[in-house]
A and B are shown apart, each in its own frame.
Chain A
Amino acid sequence: GAGVSQTPSNKVTEKGKYVELRCDPISGHTALYWYRQSLGQGPEFLIYFQGTGAADDSGLPNDRFFAVRPEGSVSTLKIQRTERGDSAVYLCASSQGQGQPQHFGDGTRLSIL
């Protein structure tokens, strides 16, 4: 595909459960970003990968959140022991490198009941 692909598009789960959100970046893009967007707000940075390594994870809210990008392409955002406050749209973006324009996926709408 030509753009950033995120799956699932919607996820509904119960409080306390574990979830995984997937991001497939644009082919060849070395930089990958995760953001979280709450209703009526702008996206908030979570974590940034350059290749396989997390170059900046300062936006992760606590240790329940974790992300990996083992082969430098697809990334998975993992949330343990979900809480109702985790409900938001999780956006993934990729770019050709640091400083290059970021291209966003359609997001995963996560709802914690």
Chain B
Amino acid sequence: ELKVEQNPLFLSMQEGKNYTIYCNYSTTSDRLYWYRQDPGKSLESLFVLLSNGAVKQEGRLMASLDTKARLSTLHITAAVHDLSATYFCAVAFYGGSQGNLIFGKGTKLSVKP
């Protein structure tokens, strides 16, 4: 069964602190995505990770991928209130005719002053 597990599901942080969100997946994948979703809004693409050891950074967010461990991390550096949102990882499985993404349950991040 294809599974994507994120932890933690809820994260309350103080501004200025660092933290990491983890994403584990159950089988070989072609690529892994991180999305951000604000309340009542759609999903905004943050990162696409294509290969083992891939690391991408945008502002205070950095994502990495370890395909051997089937693990991706989203690291938050010196959090600010504007980062408050729900973050999803999603894994693409392209065996056969599948083109869909399998999403984790999301990590709801709240950054407090």
Residues of A with Cβ closer than 8 Å to B?
A: 31, 33, 35, 40-45, 48, 50, 55-56, 58-59, 91, 98-99, 101-107
Contacts and interface: CB of A to CB of B under 8 A. Distances in A.
Given A99-B31, A101-B48, A107-B42, A48 B99 contact: yes
A33 B33 CA distance: 16
Interface in B32-47: 33, 35, 41-43, 45
A42 B104 contact: yes
B103 A42 contact: yes
12 contacts: A33-B99, A33-B100, A40-B105, A42-B104, A45-B100, A56-B97, A59-B100, A91-B43, A99-B30, A101-B48, A102-B45, A105-B42
Interface string B7-45: 000000000000000000000001101010000011101
Interface stretch (B52-60, B61-69, B87-95): B87-95
A97 B94 CA distance: 12
Interface of B: 4, 30-31, 33, 35, 41-43, 45, 48, 88, 90, 92, 94, 97-106
Contacts, number: 62
A101 B33 contact: yes
B7 to A, nearest CB: 13
A43 B99 contact: no
A102 B88 CA distance: 14
B31 A42 contact: no
A41 B105 contact: yes
A58 B1 CA distance: 14
Contact of B92 (A50, A58, A99): A99
Contacts of A91: 42-43
A41 B106 CA distance: 7
Ranked nearest first, the 8 interchain pairs of A and B with the lowest CB-CB distance are A42-B103, A45-B100, A98-B99, A104-B43, A48-B99, A104-B42, A106-B42, A55-B97
Contacts of A42: 4, 88, 90, 103-106
Nearest to A32: B99
A44 B103 contact: yes
